[in-house]
Amino acid sequence: MRIQRSVLITFFLFLIGTYSPAQIERGSLILPQHPPELTGLINKDQIDLKKLRELTNFLTNRDIKFYQEVPLKKRKKAFLRHIKHLSEKLEWEYFNKVSLTDSTIEILYEMLLFEKSMKHSAILEANSTLSFQQKRRLLKNTKKSLRMFSFERKKTGEKTVLQVKNSPFWHQPDTLAGIHLQFDDLAKQKKIKARKRMVIVFKELSYSGSTPKIKANDLDFDNEWSLKWGDEAHTDVLGSRIFAALGYDVDHPYFYGEDQLTLVFDGIQTVKNSVQLVDSLTFIYGVDISPFISTAGIVTQEMAKEHKKLNPYIGFEYVRFKKCFIEGRPDRVKRIGTIIPGLLKNEQRRELRAALLAHAFIGNWDTREENTALTTVHDGNYNYRISAVFADLGTSLGVKVSPLSGDFKVGLVNELSWEVFQIKKNKIILKNSINAILKPYQAATYEDLRWMADKIRHITGEMLAEMIDEAGWPAPIAALYFQKMASRRASILLAFDLKDPHPIPFDKMLTVIEDGVKVVDNGKLIIDYEREKNPESFLSTKGRKRNYGH
């Protein structure tokens, strides 16, 4: 009996040791009613070969460089392969006079999504500098969104939570050890390897977005990373893990605290040391990152002894930081464009409409389409999979927008409300400001949000604590966030009359005293906690556009 038990334990340990995430199935894209663009590709009961070839040619011909006079993004090899595999399946069916099947329709959906995404994103990219009118609209949405999402409460039993099939937009989280590990599973699928202590090599400057960032490679040169600084360092990490736990594909940000990450300059790229780095980022983003720098110096033989791969860089400059975050840009994932929430009837998709509540749960503000990505993922052996990503989830967890200066600040724990919904008799009102009210969010129904609430209730206290821990906040701030997120979760379940299988106790009157100093009082952060170590500040409302008050 004892032997049997030890064999079982050994077998179990072996299973854990060899556990690797299951291949993600693509899921279905078919909608109850096909978009007209799709029916246009069908002639009677067959594919229209001419139109299919035009579509494939647009997607794969690198000489087609413009759409409506705006430049298209360069098509990557993996994407060309992916499309050609799909197109050839359809051509073969055509020449063999095979009648249309669901699998044929699935391919057409996929190709159309890529086409519209490429075209639409090229136009968005060309107009990425916001006009005054656009800025005004974002501010208007910020206010309007606080009033517009009001729903009649419906008396529905526990069992009436509707089900949604897996699709490239959402997957039922499927993790043996808990949904909070979905983020790590997705990272493994994409071959993203973040180490506890990272050394990366400067590659090039970045010019997109408003968060100061650069591109870098890890020492194996296997993965590219985007290295960033600022107020999203903690929030992006938690936001992405929560979205992944709820079933969405995400980008992969990792927080690094004091001196945990070393950035090396190889001497041949445009930026060769920390001074040039600070100057370049100040010029591009208007943000001075020098308060985030902890040390800078020359790579020594001692350092190379610790990290053998640093050998070629002995004598070159490096810099370390008080805090920063890096986001994986794996070779296996190619970004094609946005997930085009407003096209191809995508607003019909419950998983997209319900994302409104996921955003509200983490208090995300910047819900613009540009913060999504339609990707092609190489699963190995030339198997490619389409996947929709929710990116840049860091403008969350307490946001303060300053209309006059055009500035905003995120990660202000005191700005994050304790409740997600205001409940008024038979009405619930979503209390989250968003700057873009995308078509699926406009179309969201009570049932859609209830479906998402059902996903949120599967997050347990332990899961929440682990995810918050990965975000790297100082202990008092992390404790306050835990209480607030537990409270927000409870308010969501209450709004939808969902039983809580794992109630998470929370204390709205939390008080934290550290070394005799009151840091959190009655559920409120009351001091600018360790400002030197946290240059972005957890209290100051001055954001990136006002240089975090420095």
Q: How far is the CB of 268 from other proteins (least distance, A)?
A: 4
Straight-line distance from the first to the last Cα atom of the chain, in angstroms, rounded to the nearest whole number: 68
Report d(CA 162, CA 158) in Å as an integer: 10
The SS3 assignment for 3 reads: helix
Distances 458 to 248, 433, 498 between C-alpha atoms, Å: 15, 25, 11
- DSSP codes of every residue in 357-400: HHHHHHT-----GGGEEEEEEEEETTEEEEEEEE--TTS-SS-E
- Measured from the CB atom, is 9 or 275 closer to other proteins? 275
- DSSP codes of every residue in 421-473: EEEETTEEEE----S---HHHHT--HHHHHHHHHHHTT--HHHHHHHHHHTT-
- Measured from the CB atom, is 46 or 294 closer to other proteins? 46
- Measured from the CB atom, is 223 or 375 closer to other proteins? 223
Report d(CA 103, CA 100) in Å as an integer: 8
Both tokens assigned to 224: 């590219």
Helices 475-495 and 461-470: crossing angle in degrees, nearest 10, is 140
**Number of Cβ atoms within 10 Å of the Cβ of 313:** 22
Q: How far is the CB of 191 from other proteins (least distance, A)?
A: 10
Both tokens assigned to 292: 């985030």
- Measured from the CB atom, is 53 or 550 closer to other proteins? 53
Q: How far is the CB of 217 from other proteins (least distance, A)?
A: 5
**Number of Cβ atoms within 10 Å of the Cβ of 387:** 24
Classify residue 232 as left (phi > 0), alpha (psi -120 to 50) or beta: alpha
Q: How far is the CB of 517 from other proteins (least distance, A)?
A: 46
Q: How far is the CB of 133 from other proteins (least distance, A)?
A: 36
- Measured from the CB atom, is 193 or 545 closer to other proteins? 193
Q: How far is the CB of 540 from other proteins (least distance, A)?
A: 37
- Measured from the CB atom, is 266 or 347 closer to other proteins? 266
Q: How far is the CB of 219 from other proteins (least distance, A)?
A: 8
- Measured from the CB atom, is 89 or 136 closer to other proteins? 89
CB 351 within 8 A of CB 345: no
Q: How far is the CB of 41 from other proteins (least distance, A)?
A: 15
Q: How far is the CB of 223 from other proteins (least distance, A)?
A: 8
Q: How far is the CB of 356 from other proteins (least distance, A)?
A: 37
- Measured from the CB atom, is 5 or 308 closer to other proteins? 308
- Measured from the CB atom, is 210 or 269 closer to other proteins? 269
- Which residue, among 197, 201, 244, has the nearest Cα to 223 in the 3D structure? 201
Q: How far is the CB of 397 from other proteins (least distance, A)?
A: 34
- Measured from the CB atom, is 12 or 382 closer to other proteins? 382
Q: What are phi and psi of 143, to 5 degrees?
A: -80, -45
User: Where along the sequence are the contacts to other proteins (CB under 8 A)?
Assistant: 53, 56-57, 60-63, 74, 77, 80-81, 84-85, 87-88, 91-92, 95, 201, 203, 217, 220-222, 224, 266-269, 308-309, 311-312, 331, 382
Distances 187 to 265, 354, 446, 461 between C-alpha atoms, Å: 27, 24, 32, 23
- Measured from the CB atom, is 60 or 290 closer to other proteins? 60
- DSSP codes of every residue in 153-171: -----GGGPPP---BTTB-
The SS3 assignment for 204 reads: strand
